[in-house]
Chain A
Amino acid sequence: MFDLQGYGWMLWDGLQMTLLVGLCSLVLAILMGLIGAWGKLSENRVARAAAATYTTVIRGIPELLLLLIIFYGTPTLIQGIAEDLGYDIIVDFNPFIAGVLTIGFIYGAFATEVFRGAFIAVPPGQMEAARAIGMSSVLAFRRVMLPQIWRFALPGLGNIWMVLIKATALISVIQLEELMRKSFIAMGATKLPFTFFFTAALMYLAITVISMLGQQRIERWANRGIRRA
């Protein structure tokens, strides 16, 4: 049953692409999450409203539909606006960039909640104390907040990574040649759908299991010196 008929290398290529697109999306999601969390906790009403709209909309619409909107809709929209302003520009989304933008954008909304929780979890007295002993707000943020935010955010980010890497399978719908797409091509040629999709499933499962183990180690590392309740 596991005779991959010479298409094994193709799946291997696909797996690497899946990991690459997943990691790039995670970086974007973390950036979006930090910005989103800043917006949610901001004094500025516009920033708060923007952040709230972002998480509300993203979490209310299926990923597949968002992917279709971003991939097919955004370039036309940007070009339309540019044309109205008198510019002729080409917005070329290759599937990789569109995939990273979509997945990063979607999971940025989830990361927003994670970081918001982490910001709140740091007792405000600590920042006040840091400011009181003369640290600038940037220095206080870097020395006092950041190290603790990471610790509080790590479990949540780990979960986001594991959901996100599975969501990358959707990018196959816009022809990025990642694991899912490669399985599909192999299936088309060999007519052995179960064999290839099951192999792909096991590869995703391996990523999940390795990520779970990695998450435990990182959390242990991040929590070193913290007494357990």
Chain B
Amino acid sequence: MRKLSLAVAAVAAIGVLATSALAADMQKVRIGTEGAYPPFNYIDSDGKLVGFDIDIAKALCVAAKFDCEFVVQDWDGIIPGLIAKKYDAIIASMSITEERKEKVDFTGKYYSTPAKFVGAKSMKVDIPEGTDAGNKALAGKAIGVQRATIHENFLRDNFPDADIKVYATQDEANLDLANGRLDLVMADSMALKEGLLNTEDGKDFEFKGPDYNEPKWHGLGAGIAIRKGEDALRESLDKAIATIRADGTYQKINDKYFDFDVYGK
């Protein structure tokens, strides 16, 4: 039922006509996503999985002629889940990093945005460019970050004097920021903008400090992770990314969520 309704939603969202006859001989691909990272992937109040990643995933499945099914998995178990074959690909705004490449393979990026801090408008804090100076400026500040993200690694390696607190989801970190338990949160700038700043709860908060985009930690943008050695799947997905970039599908999804080009340079 769930698969069927997702397939129907996919057709509706992308406006591509798929005939049911196709389903029989299509390759079945299970896609792992987090479902707690608005606006990229989250569960709306109807209990449906929605967001930029989800729309992209559906478009890729149409382009690659895959019969796709979504599996929701919390972030800190998302790579172990892939390795354990709970699903075949991760489409969940996962940044392509060297550390992760030791465990999984990636397609090319499908978008890329910098990381930023968010804090209360009322809080005076000057975060200078460069991580050494930044570390000094933020010594002792409580910074919330999601467990097992590039942002956690980036903070631990570059802001060792800050009081880093990890959460299972970005939502919980945002909640504690609103509660005043945290001075700052760090995450992808788009996720913070759409998931916090543009919402009712985010009206007292703003971006602080510079953009961070260090390839060593932030990687080469968000890609699709697959198990090591599954080259056929990786190539199909890379081709599908190129297809939707070329035929305007990507642009349509981009415009549905953002007022700028999220693909980056």
Contacts and interface: CB of A to CB of B under 8 A. Distances in A.
Q: Within 8 Å by CB, do A and B touch in the complex?
A: yes
Interface of A: 6-7, 10, 71-72, 75-76, 79, 90-93, 173-175, 185, 188-189, 191, 193
Contacts of A191: 175, 178, 201
A7 B43 CA distance: 14
B86 A75 contact: yes
The 4 A-B residue pairs with the shortest CB-CB distance, nearest first, are A75-B84, A72-B80, A90-B85, A188-B171
A152 to B, nearest CB: 41
Q: Is the interface of A mostly helix, strand, loop or mixed?
A: helix
Contacts of B47: 10
Contact of B43 (A6, A71, A79, A185): A185
B45 A72 contact: no
Bin the interface of chain B by size: 20 to 34
B74 A174 contact: yes
A90 B227 CA distance: 13
B72 A76 contact: no
Contact of A175 (B74, B84, B85, B171): B74
B231 to A, nearest CB: 16
Contacts of B83: 76
Contact of A76 (B73, B80, B168, B171): B80
A90 B84 CA distance: 8
Interface of B: 36, 43, 45, 47, 72-74, 77, 80-81, 83-86, 168-169, 171, 175, 178, 201
B180 to A, nearest CB: 14
A189 B73 CA distance: 19
A76 B81 CA distance: 9
27 contacts: A6-B45, A10-B47, A71-B77, A72-B77, A72-B80, A72-B81, A75-B84, A75-B85, A75-B86, A76-B80, A76-B84, A79-B84, A91-B84, A91-B85, A92-B85, A92-B86, A93-B84, A93-B86, A174-B74, A175-B72, A175-B73, A175-B74, A185-B43, A188-B36, A188-B169, A191-B178, A191-B201
Nearest to B35: A175
Nearest to B43: A185
A142 B81 CA distance: 44
A172 B201 CA distance: 25
Given A75-B85, A76-B80, A193-B175, 17 more contacts: A7-B45, A71-B77, A72-B77, A72-B80, A75-B84, A76-B84, A79-B85, A90-B85, A91-B84, A93-B86, A174-B74, A175-B72, A175-B74, A185-B43, A188-B171, A191-B178, A191-B201
